[in-house]
């Protein structure tokens, strides 16, 4: 039983670190891509005026990353910071566990904010509506699964008395 728990713990450690690292790389690359004009597009049929920037007090760099994700410079900078934190957190089990749990909680909150018209621009700072909602939901689910569900499963297996 001890060997089985040890194996499960090693799997948990590797999955925690892998998800933190993967999220870190993805968010770092998305953040960098948002600063590259070739990857930014104006919304489909919008005229080139201030009208296309929805209720943002910080509209610098507003556009749609890859033509689908609304973003601006501040949003890109946040993605870079989140990415760097994920890469740094992936260097240890405890760091990756805390990162994945914190990421899941924060990004569920961001998803909920993105669904509410009054808060879907993060109070005028950065757009978190549209396709950002499903992307943030998917990443929150991945982080939440390894941050909360997998450790709970290991704790349940570890606390089950062995039949001897």
Instruction: Please state the φ and ψ torsions of residue 138, each to the nearest 5 degrees.
Output: -65, -40
Widest pairwise Cα distance in the chain: 74
Q: In the 8-state DSSP scheme, what is residue 64?
A: E
Burial of 133 (0-12, 13-18, 19+ CB in 10 A): middle
* pTM, 2 dp: 0.86
- Within 10 angstroms of residue 147's Cβ, the number of other Cβ atoms is 24
Name the β-bridge partners of 71: 63
Q: State residue 156's pLDDT score.
A: 76
Digit-by-digit pLDDT tens for the chain (164 residues) are 566 667 777 888 899 999 999 999 999 999 999 999 999 988 765 545 444 556 788 888 889 999 899 999 999 999 999 999 999 999 999 999 999 999 999 999 999 999 998 899 998 899 999 999 999 999 999 999 999 988 887 777 777 665 44
Name the β-bridge partners of 70: 64
């Amino acid at each position: 039983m001890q060997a089985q728990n040890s194996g499960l713990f090693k799997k948990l450690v590797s999955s925690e670190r892998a998800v933190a690292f993967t999220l870190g790389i993805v968010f770092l690359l998305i953040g960098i891509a948002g600063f590259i004009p070739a990857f930014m597009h104006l919304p489909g049929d919008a005229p080139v005026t201030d009208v296309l920037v929805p209720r943002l007090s910080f509209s610098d760099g507003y556009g749609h990353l890859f033509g689908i994700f609304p973003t601006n410079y501040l949003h890109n900078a946040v993605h870079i910071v989140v990415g760097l934190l994920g890469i740094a957190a992936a260097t240890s089990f405890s760091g990756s566990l805390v990162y994945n749990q914190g990421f899941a909680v924060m990004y569920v909150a961001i998803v909920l904010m993105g669904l509410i018209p009054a808060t879907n621009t993060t109070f005028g700072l950065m757009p978190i509506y549209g396709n950002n909602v499903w992307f943030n939901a998917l990443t929150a689910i991945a982080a939440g699964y390894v941050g909360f569900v997998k450790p709970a499963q290991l704790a349940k297996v570890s606390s089950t008395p062995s039949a001897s």
